[in-house]
Amino acid sequence: MEVKNNTQNQQFEIHKDDDLAYMTYRINDGNLYIMHTEVPEAQRGGRIAATLAEYAIDFAKQENLALVAYCPFMRTYLKRRRSKS
């Protein structure tokens, strides 16, 4: 699954079967703020949101940004990820 960074709309995107899943973000003061995640109903359950989350985590690391999750999905994802470590 390919994730694109749409810098104009400030979102990470996955296009699948004419659907768009995305995770919106803002970058400010050395932080990557994850604002919202949206996956079309037809695509839910396929780990698309998790793929977007991992991309955001990797992006933050590569850009030396602290990750701040306002998005409820991302907050939950990070908690689960930490508990598995």
30-54 pLDDT tens trace: 999 999 999 999 888 889 999 999 9
Residue type at 23 in one-letter notation: M
Mean pLDDT of the chain: 95
Q: For residue 85, what pLDDT band results from cuts at 50, 70 and 90?
A: low
Strand order from edge to edge, sheet including 66-69? 4-6, 11-16, 19-28, 31-38, 66-69
Number of domains in the chain: 1
Residue 54 belongs to what H/E stretch? helix 48-62
Mean pLDDT, rounded, for 63-82:
95
The CATH number that applies at residue 70 is: 3.40.630.30
User: For the chain, where are the E strands, in sequence order?
Assistant: 4-6, 11-16, 19-28, 31-38, 66-69
| Number of CB atoms found within 10 A of residue 35's CB | 15
Mean pLDDT, rounded, for 66-77:
97
HSE, side-chain direction, 13 A CA sphere, residue 32: 21
Give the domain extent around 36: 4-84
**Residue 59 Cα to chain centre, angstroms:** 9
